[in-house]
Amino acid sequence: MSWRVLVSKIPKSKTLTPKFPSLVSNPKPNLSIFSSPFSTSFLITKTPKKYRKKRSKPDSPRTKPVQNPHLESILQRDSYFRFLTRSKSFLSTQPEHALRLDDTGKLYRELGFPGGRKVSRFLQRHPTIFATYRHADNKMWVGFTKFMEELLLEEKEIMNEMESDIVNKVRKLLMMSKYKRIPLSKIHHCRLLFGVPDDFRDRVAKYPEFFRIVMEDDGKRILELVKWDPLFAVSAIEREFLVDEDRVKKMFKFPVKYVKDLGLEYDEMKKLNSLNTLPMVSLYSDRWRFDLWSLEAEKYRIGVVHEFLRLTLEKRASIHHIVEFKEEFRLTRQTYQMLKKQPQTFYLAGTEMNSDVFLKDAYDGDGVLIVRDPQVVFNDRLHTYDQIQEGELGYGDDTT
């Protein structure tokens, strides 16, 4: 197909009348700019896109890391042992601690490995913990080794010895909650944080003087507090304040807003800010009734998170586990930003969308937990055994 370019010419007999008033006063206007028969659209008036300077993208909340090598390494350790932790927890609840190998692909979330992968690849990395064997039905099954079964018995003994401490932790959680009641499903979901055994829902019946299970209309089971104990209604912050008042004063900061023209010295600023920082709000009270965005309500939420972390085994928790109790503890969507303003006490490892909250004073300078619970000691031993290669312990792949 041929193309024709039609160029219209302006007759000489006709004159152009300028459309702009400034051109009317000019007796001899330059009309050549109006009568050009050619287009100038081919001229490049902007820098081509490929030559433009690229703007740096802002850090995404999903990828923006927070720098701290010691505590960040703990998250890397958790990632490395994720399959061990989740598979151990899931298999322990199965009959005879075994699962058909064909069913593992559907349970990749429960077992802690990526979907679409073969579980056999992950089992090979943990030869002292997991083993595969052929059952009487001629199907391949996954279970624990004999060595791991002995470790599970040892872990059960530790939990039995620590049962009274576990019960007290749950009692304090209920006393901190808004209406002194928490769904059992939430406690079960966060059981590894507090060292709560998997069969805690059955053990509740042993303590009718402390707990009561209420069945709601939708079938949800709620754990309620039966008896209030004033001896437990003292937070860790209040106990530490009696021992070292100056240290507690430095733990939190709620600065007062003021103009720079005041020209305050550092000591004067410190005294002024202390008016907002102290006194802290008691957690075991009805102070949750404060206005949601008031300073007192923020103090209350900060104290609740601090006490929540004190009750955990490793004095840390995922931000998702903390926010899971937002209704019971009256937390808000700004929990991450609220904790970020208290760097003296909390350290937020990982990314903003998937972070872990640490109590800084519970760890030494090398990122080692100062006071370790017996269950933490057991988990560290388990991680050590898990890295031992097959045959080094003298056990085979026998399962019980």
pLDDT tens for each residue of 331-387:
988 999 999 999 999 999 988 788 999 999 999 989 999 999 999 999 999 999 998
With contact defined as beta carbons under 8 Å apart, do 374 and 195 qualify? no
Domain at 69-144, CATH class = alpha beta
Q: What is the residue type of 70? A: H
Tell me, what's the pLDDT at 182?
96
Return the H-helix or E-strand segment holding 110: helix 108-111
Farthest-apart Cα atoms in the chain, separation:
111
Q: Rounded CA gap, 119 and 90, in Å?
A: 14
pLDDT at 14 over 60: no
Q: Rounded CA gap, 147 and 201, in Å?
A: 28
Greater model confidence, 160 or 35: 160
Per-residue pLDDT band at 283 (split at 50, 70, 90): confident
pLDDT tens for each residue of 232-275:
888 888 888 888 888 887 888 876 665 555 666 666 666 666 65
> Any residues with CB less than 8 A from the CB of 177 and at least 6 apart, and which?
325, 328, 329
Going by C-alpha positions, the residue among 91, 97, 92, 80 that lies closest to residue 383 is: 80
**DSSP strands (E only) in 186-264:** 211-215, 221-225
pLDDT tens for each residue of 199-237:
998 899 999 999 999 998 888 999 999 999 999 888 888
> Any residues with CB less than 8 A from the CB of 284 and at least 6 apart, and which?
175, 176, 232, 233, 234, 235
Per-residue pLDDT band at 7 (split at 50, 70, 90): very low
Tell me, what's the pLDDT at 280?
67
Tell me, what's the pLDDT at 250?
80
Q: Is the dihedral of CA 144, 150, 154, 160 positive or negative?
A: positive
Q: What is the separation of C-alpha 109 from the centre of its chain, rounded to a whole number of angstroms? A: 17
In order of 41, 96, 287, 362, the CA distances from 48 in angstroms are: 15, 68, 61, 56
**DSSP strands (E only) in 115-164:** 130-134, 140-144
Tell me, what's the pLDDT at 165?
95
Tell me, what's the pLDDT at 150?
96
Most confident segment among 78-87, 117-126, 288-297: 78-87
Other C-beta atoms closer than 10 Å to the C-beta of 340 total: 15
Tell me, what's the pLDDT at 23?
47
Going by C-alpha positions, the residue among 160, 168, 126 that lies closest to residue 143 is: 126
Q: Rounded CA gap, 200 and 207, in Å?
A: 11
Q: Rounded CA gap, 91 and 77, in Å?
A: 21
Q: Are strands 221-225 and 346-350 parallel, antiparallel or unpaired?
A: unpaired
Tell me, what's the pLDDT at 396?
44
> Any residues with CB less than 8 A from the CB of 156 and at least 6 apart, and which?
197
Q: Rounded CA gap, 296 and 281, in Å?
A: 7
pLDDT tens for each residue of 299-328:
889 999 999 999 999 999 999 999 999 999
Going by C-alpha positions, the residue among 151, 138, 13 that lies closest to residue 88 is: 151
pLDDT tens for each residue of 15-71:
555 554 554 555 555 555 545 565 555 566 677 777 777 777 666 655 555 567 899
Per-residue pLDDT band at 11 (split at 50, 70, 90): low
pLDDT at 141 over 80: yes
Tell me, what's the pLDDT at 264?
63
Tell me, what's the pLDDT at 29?
53
With contact defined as beta carbons under 8 Å apart, do 128 and 395 qualify? yes
The residues of the chain that CATH labels 3.30.420 are 69-144
